[in-house]
Amino acid sequence: MKINTIENLKRDNGYIEFEGKEFILTQSTYLDYDYITGSCYYHAMAICPEDQPDSDGWQPAYSVQFELLDAYDPDTMEEEYACDWNEPERVSRRGEYTLMGGRYC
pLDDT score at 81 = 93
> 92 with 44: CB under 8 angstroms?
no
pLDDT at 3 over 80: no
Half-sphere exposure of 28 (CA within 13 A, CB side): 5
Mention every residue, 6+ apart, whose C-beta is less than 8 A from residue 11.
none
| Residue 55: how many other CB atoms lie within 10 Å | 5
For the stretch 80-95, pLDDT in tens is 999 999 999 999 999 9
74 confidence band (pLDDT: 50, 70, 90): confident
Domain ranges of the chain: 6-104
pLDDT at 102 over 90: no
